[in-house]
Each structure stands twice: as structure tokens, then as C-alpha cells.
Amino acid sequence: MDRRVFLTRVAFGSLSGLAWSVTGCRSNQKAHVLSADEKDMVGSHTAGAETWEPLIEQSVGQILGRQASEIVQTSAGEVFPAPKKRVCFVGVENKSIEELGDFKEQIYQKIDACIASSDAFDVIHRKFVEAGLRQCALRPDDLFLPSNRRMFSAAMEQLEQPFDYLMYATITSGTTKSNDKDYQRDYLLTLELIHMESGRADKESAELRKGYHKSRLGKLKHYGPS
């Protein structure tokens, strides 16, 4: 066999093998289902489940806990649970530096589910909320004006979905950077609850701080041993 032909075939075979190994590696991604006692993966560049889950649980639990009436006692001395109050949750506004991606919808659903699982509150279905906003030609942030709230409340009455409280969620962030390009980001989830009858507003915030590092030594350098 001609030496040049032999070397060409060897080289071609080597490249084909390399290409197969590269594509083979790419198609062999693995996954596993997390058990209840396994921790959430910590996002290396942005906030993830490890950030939003505790913020939602803390903020929703505290703000609803303050508003809930524990018992109603009749004149006969009988004790009954208080009737559930209805919450109209109008959405999540992101004012942080990060794009939320598919987490924005998940944050909404988790807050909605937390309200629905409460013993003292019911939540109005999202489709009714969206229909009421469309009928009034309003965006969620327009409801901070009392006149717009009254118009929206009347529209919800027509849809047979009256409510006692209006709830907003806002996400903000603050970033502290170091000279070596490591940085800390503070995430804040704020819930605002407005009582429709009195106009009284309540606010609750939950914060989580997270460090991002360019190397394995970054955490030790900035925060010391854990």
C-alpha cells in the first residue's frame, strides 16, 4: 500500500474516532430525580431554586400569619374557625438585575399555592384575575391608584369573584463586587397586601444573600471557613 494513502486513512480514522467520542459525550448526559432530603442545586451564575424557595415560604407565611384571625367566638360561647378571606394575587414584578426566565412563572405558582394551602385564606383563580384586568384595561401596577382598585374590584364583583385583599410580589437585587471579580448578590422578595375595605397596606420582605466566585478559593477569601 502507498505510504501516503496509509497515513491519510489513519488520520481520517483518528478524526472520525475523535468526532464520535465528542458527539458521544454530548449525547450521554445523565440526570436523577432528587429525593426529599437532597438539597437543591446551587446556581453558579444566577439565583435558582435554592434562592426562591426559602424566600417564598418565609414572606408568604409571615404576611398571611399577621392578617389571619385565629378564631371567631359566638355569644353562646361556641368557638369556630374564622371564615376564609379571599386574596387576589395579581402577579410578580421583577426589578432585579437578573432575568428570571422560567422561574418567574414558577414563583407565581408557588406563591399562589402557598396562599391556597392556608387555613385562613383562599386565592382567586388567575384566569379571573387576568379577565378582570383586561376588562378594566389595567396593568397590575395600575392598581396602586385607589380609583383603579375600585374599578377593578367592581369588575371582579361582576365576575362573581369578590375579594378581601389585593397582593403584589416584587423581586429586587443588590450587587456588591470585589476587585477580583467575585461578587455578592442580595435577593429581596417583597409582598404587599392591601385590605380592600379599609385600604390598609401591609408589607413583608424576605432576603437571601449569595456569593459568586471565580475560583474555589473565592468563598474562603471573602467569607472565611464555613
Residue 142: how many CB atoms within 10 A of its CB? 16
- The per-residue pLDDT for 180 is 81
Residue type, 202: D
Residue 49: how many CB atoms within 10 A of its CB? 16
DSSP symbols for 50-104: HHHHHHHHHHHHHHHHHH----EE-TTS-EEPPPPEEEEEEEEEE-SSS--TTHH
Residue written as grid cell 432575568: 99
The grid coordinates listed for 81 are 374557625
The grid coordinates listed for 218 are 473565592
- The per-residue pLDDT for 213 is 84
Distances (CA, A) of 200 to 165, 166, 194: 10, 11, 6
- The per-residue pLDDT for 6 is 46
- The per-residue pLDDT for 37 is 65
* Residues sharing a CB contact under 8 Å with residue 138, sequence separation 6 or more, in sequence order: 148, 151, 152
Residues written for the chain = 226
Q: What angle in degrees, to the nearest 10, is found between the helix axes of 126-136 and 146-158?
A: 120
- Give pLDDT < 70 ranges for the chain: 1-27, 32-34, 36-41, 43, 69-81, 216-226
pTM (two decimals): 0.76
Helix (H) or strand (E) holding 164: none
Per residue in 58-74, pLDDT (tens digit) is 999 999 988 875 445 55
Q: Which domains does the chain have, with CATH numbers?
A: 49-66+83-223 (3.40.50.10610)
Strand partners, 173: 187
- The per-residue pLDDT for 216 is 67
Rounded Cα distance, 56 and 191, in Å = 9
**Chain-centre distance of CA 212, in angstroms?**
20
For the chain, first and last CA: distance in Å?
Answer: 66
